[in-house]
Amino acid sequence: MQPFIVNLGALPVGTSHFEWKAEVGFFGIFGNPEITDANVDVLVTLHNHRVTVDAQCELRGVVTVPCDRCLEDLVIPVETEFEESYVTEGDELDLRQDVYDYICTALPFRKVHPDGECNEDTLKYLSRDGDSRGE
């Protein structure tokens, strides 16, 4: 079975639990080069009602992105959850897009190291006072 895709024909009526990992390759499927590493646990509880499936998903872990200020690796914790109801059309329930979207929206808009933790060598080239051209 492929991660994040549930075979509805094999899903019993009632409650089922799934555990997957969203790693860097998962984000590559969506063409997201900004996430350079990831280790997010995806815990899913599905309630199969035959015509609909209710999903409760917990997303916990970390992703690595370049810092917007110094471009060095920045590890950002991810801790979010979502609940969705799906109409059971077809043979599979594909949760990839929802998992991807919720992880990405859990990230801050501005991704920077805390003050004092950026690469000092990079920062000196970005500031007027540290301009190596002598201007």
Q: Above 80 in pLDDT, residue 118?
A: yes
Q: Please report the pLDDT score of residue 128 as a whole number.
A: 58
Phi-psi region of 34 (alpha: psi -120 to 50; beta: other; left: phi over 0): alpha
| Residue 65 near residue 111 (C-beta atoms within 8 A) | yes
Interatomic CA distance for residues 69 and 112, integer angstroms: 6
Terminal Cα-to-Cα distance of the chain (whole angstroms): 61
Residue among 34, 24, 30, 22 nearest 108 (CA):
34
| Residue 61 near residue 38 (C-beta atoms within 8 A) | yes
The number of residues in the chain equals 135
Q: Please report the pLDDT score of residue 65 as a whole number.
A: 97
pTM for this predicted structure: 0.86
Q: Kindly report, residue by residue over 60-115, the tens digit of the pLDDT.
A: 999 999 999 899 999 999 999 999 999 988 899 999 999 999 999 999 999 999 98
Mean of the per-residue pLDDT values of the chain: 91
| Residue 36 near residue 52 (C-beta atoms within 8 A) | no
Confidence of residue 46 (pLDDT cuts 50, 70, 90): very high
Please report, rounded to a whole number, the percentage of residues in the chain having pLDDT higher than 70: 93
Interatomic CA distance for residues 80 and 107, integer angstroms: 10
Q: Please report the pLDDT score of residue 132 as a whole number.
A: 45
Confidence of residue 131 (pLDDT cuts 50, 70, 90): very low
Q: Please report the pLDDT score of residue 135 as a whole number.
A: 39
